[in-house]
């Protein structure tokens, strides 16, 4: 059941100040002039993961939705960012060194499944021993496969795992539909494949299809952008050079203007209308431009990005079923403490998985 909290608005203000201070003091001058270096991708993943965690807290964990508003309204953008960056990253890697489907699966799927299996095992056992919750063997089996046809916040083992099923679909079709010499065609084929599944209205997906249809474009769009990014290196270097030379007096007004557009569409996001996906993609694009233009890097977002997958796997069950912080502390302090706590646990999981994969020569 949702947690009741006191002083939701004032708690939001205090947490926002704490978060701003944390972001500010972890910021340093940007070192790379590239448009989309790996560090920037990690920062964007960190923003996406933070947005999703705050949305899950503000709209599902606590009963008063004023808590964390408007910091809690970017979950859809966070999902699109993850999908876009996944498509972009896989395509850039494939353009440099194309892997056959078997080699692709052997390289990428263990990185998805091993931490997922560890976390899933822990929560199944903990739920049984500590909460006396039991699940059917068929549910446990399909969960370990990575198929989650429901996203019930309080009856599923981990409701955000609907996204895992979605991203697994893209990982499975990517090496089959991606052609190194035709990245734009590949993006269209991938988009056609996911749209085909949506148009089929499969009965096994009826409880999560409404989540999928909001995010069908972001992954293939990332593939398309990667194709353009790699095809026009001179034009990319030209843009990078002009951004690097841009005066602060020009850069700041541009960023303020873009931030204003971002804020407007984040508030009027078209939730529940056919335009929702397109507004979310617009916000994703604006955020991408803002991160490219900013002359500094944010260490806290970078850390959240490095361990974003682990954070995604563990955050909801811990907060929703095993919470002790919101029950005993002011809401702003509980939220502020959850971030380093989840980061620490994610770091431990990341190190354990890295050791296991290293032993099996999977890098």
Through-space distance between the first and last CA atoms of the chain, rounded to whole angstroms: 41
Residue-level pLDDT at 363: 59
Query: CB of 35 within 8 A of CB of 229?
Result: yes
Residue-level pLDDT at 234: 84
Please classify residue 36 by burial: count the beta carbons closer than 10 Å to its beta carbon, then call 0-12 exposed, 13-18 middle and 19+ buried: buried
Q: Which residues pair with 27 in a beta bridge?
A: 298
Residue-level pLDDT at 231: 86
Predicted confidence pLDDT, tens digits, the chain (363 residues): 688 888 899 999 999 999 999 999 999 988 777 788 889 999 999 999 999 999 999 999 999 999 999 999 999 999 999 999 999 999 999 998 878 899 999 999 999 999 999 999 999 999 999 999 999 999 999 999 999 999 988 889 999 999 999 999 999 999 999 999 999 999 999 999 999 999 999 999 999 999 999 999 999 999 999 999 988 888 888 888 888 888 878 888 999 999 999 999 998 988 888 899 999 999 999 999 999 999 899 999 999 999 999 999 999 999 999 999 998 999 999 999 999 999 999 999 999 999 888 876 665
Q: Where are the domains of the chain?
A: 40-358
CB burial string 212-250: b at 16+ within 10 A, e below: beebbbbbbbbbbbbbebeeeeeebeeeeeeeeeeeeee
Q: Which residues pair with 162 in a beta bridge?
A: none
Give which of 222, 227, 274, 255 is closest to 79, Cα–Cα: 222
Q: What is the SS3 string spanning the chain?
A: CCECCCCHHHHHHHHHHHHHHHHHHCEEECCCCCCCCHHHHHHHHHHHHHHHHHHHHHHHHECCCCCCCCCCCCHHHHHHHHHHHHHHHHHHHHHHCCCCHHHHHHHHHHHHHHHHHHHHHHHHHHHHHHCCCCCCHHHHHHHHHCCCCCCCCCCCCCHHHHHHHHHHHHHHHHHHHCCCCCHHHHHHHHHHHHHHHHHHCCHHHCCCHHHHHHHCCHHHHHHHHHHHHHHCHHHHHHHHHHHHHCCHHHHHHHHHHHHHHHHHHHHCCCCCCCCHHHHHHHHHHHHHHHHHHCCEEEHHHHHHHHCHHHHHHHHHHHHHHCCCHHHHCCHHHHHHHHHHHHHHHHHHHHHHHHHHHHHCCCC
Q: How far apart are CA 255 and CA 272, in angstroms?
A: 29
Residue-level pLDDT at 362: 64
Does the pTM surpass 0.85? The reply is: yes
């Amino acid at each position: 059941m949702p947690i009741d909290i006191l002083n939701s608005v004032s708690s939001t203000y205090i947490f926002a100040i704490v978060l701003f201070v944390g972001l500010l003091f972890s910021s340093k001058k940007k070192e790379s002039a590239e448009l989309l270096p790996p560090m920037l991708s990690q920062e964007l993943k960190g923003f996406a993961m933070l947005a999703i965690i705050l949305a899950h807290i503000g709209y599902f964990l606590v009963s008063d939705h004023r808590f964390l508003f408007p910091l809690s309204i970017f979950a859809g953008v966070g999902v699109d960012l993850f999908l876009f960056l996944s498509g972009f990253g896989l395509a850039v890697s494939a353009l440099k060194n194309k892997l056959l489907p078997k080699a692709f699966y052997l390289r990428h799927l263990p990185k998805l499944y091993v931490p997922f299996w560890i976390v899933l095992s822990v929560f199944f056992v903990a739920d049984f021993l500590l909460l006396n919750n039991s699940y059917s063997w068929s549910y446990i089996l399909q969960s370990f496969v990575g198929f989650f046809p429901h996203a019930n916040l309080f009856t599923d083992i981990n409701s955000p795992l609907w996204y895992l099923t979605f991203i697994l679909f893209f990982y499975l079709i990517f090496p089959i539909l991606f052609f190194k010499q035709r990245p734009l065609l590949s993006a269209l084929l991938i988009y056609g494949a996911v749209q085909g599944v949506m148009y089929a209205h499969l009965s096994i997906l009826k409880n999560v299809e409404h989540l999928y249809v909001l995010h069908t474009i972001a992954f293939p769009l990332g593939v398309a952008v990667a194709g353009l990014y790699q095809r026009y290196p001179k034009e990319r270097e030209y843009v990078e050079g002009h951004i690097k030379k841009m005066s602060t007096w020009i850069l700041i007004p541009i960023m303020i203007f873009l931030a204003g557009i971002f804020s407007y569409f984040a508030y009027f996001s078209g939730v529940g209308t056919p335009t929702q996906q397109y507004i979310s993609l617009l916000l994703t694009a604006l955020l991408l431009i803002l991160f490219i233009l900013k002359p500094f890097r944010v260490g806290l977002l970078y850390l959240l990005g490095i361990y974003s997958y682990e954070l995604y796997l563990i955050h909801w069950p811990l907060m929703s079923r095993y919470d002790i912080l919101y029950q005993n502390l002011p809401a702003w302090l509980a939220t502020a403490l959850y971030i380093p706590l989840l980061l620490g646990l994610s770091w431990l999981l990341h190190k354990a998985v890295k050791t296991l994969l290293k032993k099996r020569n999977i890098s």
